[in-house]
A and B are shown apart, each in its own frame.
Chain A
């Protein structure tokens, strides 16, 4: 059984016990434990089930590479699935539960899959679920959905808060092991702005566990001394619990800082996402130990050799009393020695190499440990827990020589440098056959904005396995990076590391090398996704020869650990199956983030009320206090209707429509874009921007204008007012303010840069209020100030003056067909002006109205709306707006495009009114059905609905639409489809259905 040792555990504070629960069971650990070490200390080996076969799973590693130890953690707003037990620091009250089993972790019905595994090989899903087709929807999909996914999805709103932080540094060093620390000192001494990241809570990496010696000091002391030196450097910033997540173009890097995961607190930030711009990046990210592929290597109790060592040294936890060590290199001997020194038994070291010699081997032998060379594990005995191993010759096919009882197997297949961050932005790898690893190719680094290399790598991540090389390499990398960033100050000498000699590793990709199918189909590569040696071999056999194809066919490396343990072993098996060299098969692509980061961190502050900016007009507060039912229009929230007590939204709309036609309505039109265009060439410029002529517009007058893109499509419309000889005010749609401003600047800066024109966006300088309805003039006259009579201020003119004591610009324009004034006042007085109008208008039956009423009123008049009648493929001619296309102008944006054959096609769909025979409201976007079907067997269409409303004035549905040859088909009845499969008949009519003569507006 796994248990707590009396005397070990360098990271533990045994003075502080912590209680936590696992699957409802109360357990205890110490401050300094990870959830993994605490579970093991409580003999909770079984931690979860694998994804496909529901095999029992325990931790196989002790760090970020862990594929198995994933739990649901927390509750309510802090619930989160797939939390890695090896990187979860224990805290008081932690709640964890295992995943992917039913009904319980100990007894899981899904484990039947493991007995069916012969029938569930790689590609099973693709082969099985394709036929018969109808079964997919009703049988397969529900089944797969039921079994898909690890852990449970959180149900509550995230209770925590997050933030981003932007920072710019000269040198970013990822990894706080001895290489990273040496690099930081070297770069710091040179005077560079340095940031050093360590993903765990502890500095020093493996060296402190393995007892390396640097500058004559034990690594632990050297690390402490170095940290103290770094803390004194003002130009160096140290961040622990902060993982380098990704490296991107031009020196951009993301780091994921877990501020309070180890001590949850509602008042503090949980995670911070660092958005770093670094001139140089040094990845000192260490290495990951590889598992060995032998039958039963997934049984709980089989663990990476270095992890077994970590649990003893760091956490004082023994995984088992009797540990068999199996290896192809010297490093695993350290585990055997550590275990023996901790008073535990190592019955045998199984070394696949035919020869093993050197100080570590000698030391193991001197301690009385039996070493068997040229041997392999044929098979691990046990189900939910290792009970023993069967030993065979590595060279053979698996004939068992003897069986050894044990409760832990420590395996080591060698070390793979963590090359992820090097590779994220294009760094290439080379195969080091001597050390049996991919490592960064220093000739092919990621390059930056000037073509310069901007990522270097140091230490074990660079393929250096010995202390002396690691610290020396780190130091050199730090110096070089600082220099590349322009910092040259002289520094002290590089630290010196000391090493024991080690013998060479021997590649072992399958154990034993001639393992039969029965063994190969129990030799796991990917522990989480249940991919075995036999699956990769099958993929190769079935033609999935590219490593990327084999990955997707088998799901190797596609689990939440992204193949940190499985990728190299898997591609070696693939290479062997293809009879190819490992470097020729290559690796799959390394993509950020290095390990999963929280969605909260990605969102940062953009959550809840700050999720998106909500734009407010000066009148928004009044509207929200007075029943506004808002709708989003871009980032604005515009009142759709002002709902009174006891009314539905629909009732409110009908009331507003009738009241505006009969009495007086008030609309907050502040969101409309307002662009000042000024200069000697402003008229010429606007003649290019608009399809109609703006240069001839007299001062004091207004003109409705259309804007097309160079493609000829309608992009915006609005009323243009001439302010003075050289100044125009262009109104845009609400959505157009920014992009039409940008559009104008684009043409001025990039095409006609010699034209003398300035544009300013003054949209938000003004509150603009539309006073609409038969009583509009009465209200303004009551407030007094300027003359707004029909004679002095006729339709389509504007004047500046005062209304009720407010400085105002009054535009006599109408988007409703009513007598209407749009009045602009400075935004700071907008709310006051609105209330003044509301109060003074009471006797005239004033009511505010929202956007739905605006839409209905304009639709009754056949006025188009950008975004309803247009969708980026509609030209003015389609909307019968040919009158607004100047014939006099030689050129304007869109003019040439309108000559193209499809634009000039007489059979384009054109705007008409649509009147349902039964008076109902047509569904928005419905298509008009035509005879026959197209090549895909779909019913042909001949038009579609673009605007459709219920008109309270006419007491029936009204609509506009685009119909093939529409204006020539007045009176014809066509059919529109409905979502429920039925159709509705509508007559083609004139789009203007209210006050055709315009009598109401011209008063």
Chain B
């Protein structure tokens, strides 16, 4: 059972206080998008063994969504950060690189 640090309220929240929201950094495709783009946006997800970026909501706490960089194999958490960003901030990427040199996820590395 995970503990994740909520970057908004500063609480180390128990997993039972959280709600998992799937993959982070999805780019929304709207009415003008092609079939393939839209399909990718709706359904195609990373399924890595290793570094992963996820959405979590501090549902029973401050109610805010935040993002977490986590290893799916060891459950190591590299960092949590604001949801108001389209890609992980540099300090998170650095933290991952320090622990998992050469990591890659989608277009990120």
Give yes or no for direct A-B contact (beta carbon below 8 Å).
Answer: yes
A868 interface residue (CB < 8 Å to B): no
Q: Is the CB of A749 within 8 A of B84?
A: yes
Interface readout for B62-87 with A: 1 if CB under 8 Å, 0 if not?
Answer: 01110000010011110000011000
Q: Is the CB of A890 within 8 A of B31?
A: yes
**Chain A 245-260 residues near chain B, CB threshold 8 A:** 248-252
Q: Which residue of B lies closest to A688 (CB)?
A: B30
Residue of B1, B33, B76 touching A447 (CB-CB under 8 A):
B76
Check A449/B75 contact, CB under 8 A, given A249-B2, A711-B42, A750-B55.
Answer: yes
B57 interface residue (CB < 8 Å to A): yes
Q: Is the CB of B55 within 8 A of A896?
A: no
Inter-chain contacts of A167 with B (CB < 8 A): none
B29 interface residue (CB < 8 Å to A): yes
Check A249/B75 contact, CB under 8 A, given A277-B3, A749-B65.
Answer: yes
Min Cβ gap B106→A in Å is 17
Q: What is the bound-complex CA distance between A96 and B21, given in angstroms? A: 50
Q: Is the CB of A895 within 8 A of B83?
A: no
Q: Is the CB of A710 within 8 A of B42?
A: yes
Min Cβ gap A628→B in Å is 31
Check A896/B3 contact, CB under 8 A, given A250-B75, A750-B83.
Answer: no
Q: Is the CB of A451 within 8 A of B99?
A: yes
Q: Is the CB of B31 within 8 A of A895?
A: yes
User: What band does the interface of chain A fall in when counting residues whose beta carbon is under 8 Å from B?
Assistant: 20 to 34
Inter-chain contacts of B75 with A (CB < 8 A): 249-250, 449
Q: Is the CB of B77 within 8 A of A450?
A: yes
Min Cβ gap A478→B in Å is 23
Q: What is the bound-complex CA distance between A899 and B32, given in angstroms? A: 10
A501 interface residue (CB < 8 Å to B): no
A746 interface residue (CB < 8 Å to B): yes
Q: Is the CB of A746 within 8 A of B38?
A: no
A609 interface residue (CB < 8 Å to B): no
B28 interface residue (CB < 8 Å to A): yes
A897 interface residue (CB < 8 Å to B): yes
Q: What is the bound-complex CA distance between A710 and B35, given in angstroms? A: 14
Q: Is the CB of B63 within 8 A of A745?
A: yes
B59 interface residue (CB < 8 Å to A): yes
A443 interface residue (CB < 8 Å to B): no
Inter-chain contacts of A900 with B (CB < 8 A): 35, 38
Q: What is the bound-complex CA distance between A180 and B38, given in angstroms? A: 58
Inter-chain contacts of A897 with B (CB < 8 A): 38, 42
Q: What is the bound-complex CA distance between A751 and B27, given in angstroms? A: 9
Q: Is the CB of A749 within 8 A of B77?
A: no
Q: What is the bound-complex CA distance between A997 and B35, given in angstroms? A: 42
Min Cβ gap B69→A in Å is 12
Q: Which residue of A lies closest to B43 (CB)?
A: A711
A891 interface residue (CB < 8 Å to B): yes
Q: Is the CB of B31 within 8 A of A742?
A: no
**Chain A 23-79 residues near chain B, CB threshold 8 A:** none
Q: Is the CB of B29 within 8 A of A896?
A: yes
Inter-chain contacts of B42 with A (CB < 8 A): 710-711, 897
Min Cβ gap B9→A in Å is 14
Q: Is the CB of B1 within 8 A of A742?
A: no
**Chain A 857-909 residues near chain B, CB threshold 8 A:** 890-891, 895-897, 899-900
Inter-chain contacts of B3 with A (CB < 8 A): 250-252, 277, 449
Interface readout for A234-252 with B: 1 if CB under 8 Å, 0 if not?
Answer: 0000000000000011111
Q: What is the bound-complex CA distance between A750 and B84, given in angstroms? A: 6
Q: What is the bound-complex CA distance between A229 and B71, given in angstroms? A: 42
Inter-chain contacts of B29 with A (CB < 8 A): 896
Q: Is the CB of A753 within 8 A of B84?
A: yes
Q: What is the bound-complex CA distance between A449 and B28, given in angstroms? A: 31
Q: Is the CB of A248 within 8 A of B1?
A: yes
Inter-chain contacts of A249 with B (CB < 8 A): 1-2, 75
Q: Is the CB of A252 within 8 A of B1?
A: yes
Interface readout for A732-750 with B: 1 if CB under 8 Å, 0 if not?
Answer: 0000000000100110011
Inter-chain contacts of B64 with A (CB < 8 A): 749
Q: What is the bound-complex CA distance between A890 and B65, given in angstroms? A: 27
Min Cβ gap B43→A in Å is 9
Min Cβ gap B66→A in Å is 9
Inter-chain contacts of B71 with A (CB < 8 A): 451
Residue of A426, A448, A745 touching B65 (CB-CB under 8 A):
A745
Check A250/B65 contact, CB under 8 A, given A749-B84, A896-B38.
Answer: no
Q: Is the CB of A746 within 8 A of B99?
A: no
Q: What is the bound-complex CA distance between A252 and B16, given in angstroms? A: 12
Q: Is the CB of B76 within 8 A of A451?
A: yes
Min Cβ gap B86→A in Å is 10
Inter-chain contacts of B63 with A (CB < 8 A): 745
Inter-chain contacts of B2 with A (CB < 8 A): 249-250, 449
Inter-chain contacts of B31 with A (CB < 8 A): 890-891, 895-896, 899
Q: Is the CB of B33 within 8 A of A896?
A: yes
Q: Which residue of B lies closest to A738 (CB)?
A: B59
Check A451/B83 contact, CB under 8 A, given A250-B1, A746-B57, A896-B31.
Answer: no
Q: What is the bound-complex CA distance between A450 and B78, given in angstroms? A: 7
Residue of A251, A252, A447, A896 touching B30 (CB-CB under 8 A):
A896
Q: Is the CB of A451 within 8 A of B65?
A: no
Q: Which residue of B lies closest to A452 (CB)?
A: B76
Q: Is the CB of B57 within 8 A of A742?
A: yes
**Chain B 1-47 residues near chain A, CB threshold 8 A:** 1-3, 14, 19, 21, 28-31, 33, 35, 38, 42
Q: Is the CB of A746 within 8 A of B77?
A: no
Most buried by B among A250, A251, A749, A750: A750
Q: Is the CB of B33 within 8 A of A750?
A: no
Q: What is the bound-complex CA distance between A742 and B59, given in angstroms? A: 9
Q: Is the CB of A450 within 8 A of B1?
A: no
Q: Which residue of B lies closest to A741 (CB)?
A: B63
Most buried by B among A250, A753, A890, A895: A250
Q: Which residue of A lies closest to B55 (CB)?
A: A750
Q: Which residue of B lies closest to A890 (CB)?
A: B31
Min Cβ gap A830→B in Å is 26
Q: Which residue of A lies closest to B28 (CB)?
A: A751
**Chain A 192-250 residues near chain B, CB threshold 8 A:** 248-250
Min Cβ gap A855→B in Å is 31
Q: Which residue of A lies closest to B21 (CB)?
A: A746
Residue of A252, A447, A745 touching B74 (CB-CB under 8 A):
A447
Min Cβ gap A646→B in Å is 47
Most buried by B among A448, A449, A751: A449
Inter-chain contacts of B35 with A (CB < 8 A): 900
Inter-chain contacts of B59 with A (CB < 8 A): 742
Q: What is the bound-complex CA distance between A891 and B84, given in angstroms? A: 21
Interface residues of chain B, those whose CB is within 8 Å of chain A, are: 1-3, 14, 19, 21, 28-31, 33, 35, 38, 42, 55, 57, 59, 63-65, 71, 74-77, 83-84, 99
* Pairs across A and B, CB under 8 Å, 25 listed: A249-B1, A250-B1, A251-B3, A252-B1, A277-B3, A277-B14, A447-B74, A449-B2, A449-B77, A451-B76, A742-B19, A742-B57, A745-B57, A749-B64, A750-B55, A751-B28, A890-B30, A890-B31, A895-B30, A896-B29, A896-B30, A896-B31, A896-B33, A897-B38, A900-B38
Beyond A250-B1, A890-B30, A890-B31, 10 additional contacts (C-beta under 8 Å) are: A426-B74, A449-B2, A449-B76, A449-B77, A451-B71, A742-B19, A753-B83, A891-B31, A896-B30, A900-B38
Interface residues of chain A, those whose CB is within 8 Å of chain B, are: 248-252, 277, 426, 447-451, 710-711, 742, 745-746, 749-751, 753, 890-891, 895-897, 899-900
Listed from nearest, the 3 A-B pairs whose CB atoms lie closest are: A451-B76, A753-B84, A252-B1
